[in-house]
Amino acid sequence: MRTRLILAAALLAPAAAVIPAAHAGPISVLTPYCATTLQNVNAGVSSSCATQGPPPVECSSCGVRRTVNVVVTSGGADVKLLCDGLTYTTHVDGPGTGSVGAWGGLNCTTTLTATANGTIAAATSTASYVIISE
């Protein structure tokens, strides 16, 4: 039976230390935090931020997952996550939440684009090590 253990960087925290169970090397520190906010913008205006990390680690049955969590208070926002040349998108209408994610995610840019006047939205990008153990 497989047990999945997810070690995640906490939302809205600048960094979290993680020691992967299958990793025998030094401690790796996650520093992939990135947040962007749209405040009362006109339609089509966008806001973005870029991150790098976490660094690759040597371990078996593990990987890095980049996740962008979005909260829209009013209006709507298109969300684009560009990681290592691959693009992932979603749309979130307010009031509401949504997320988009990608495996790998070393060099990433998150962009929010307003789809209506008065959109108020915030996105937080985090990364986590995902370790699968037997």
Q: What is the pLDDT of residues 39-50, one digit of tens each?
A: 778 778 899 998
Residue 6's CB is within 10 A of a number of other CB atoms, namely 10
Q: Determine, yes or no, domain membership for 20.
A: no
Residue 109's CB is within 10 A of a number of other CB atoms, namely 16
Higher pLDDT, residue 33 or 20 = 33
* pLDDT per position as a tens digit, 105-121: 778 899 999 987 788 99
Q: Determine, yes or no, domain membership for 16.
A: no
Question: What global pTM score does this model have?
Answer: 0.70
Higher pLDDT, residue 17 or 57 = 57
Q: How many domains does the chain have?
A: 1
Q: Determine, yes or no, domain membership for 126.
A: yes
Is the separation of the CB atoms in 81 and 125 below 8 Å? yes
The CATH number linked to 121 is: 2.60.120.1540
Structural domain boundaries, residue 38: 3-11+32-133
Q: Determine, yes or no, domain membership for 19.
A: no
Q: Which two tokens stand for residue 73?
A: 């208070």
Query: pLDDT value at position 56?
Result: 64
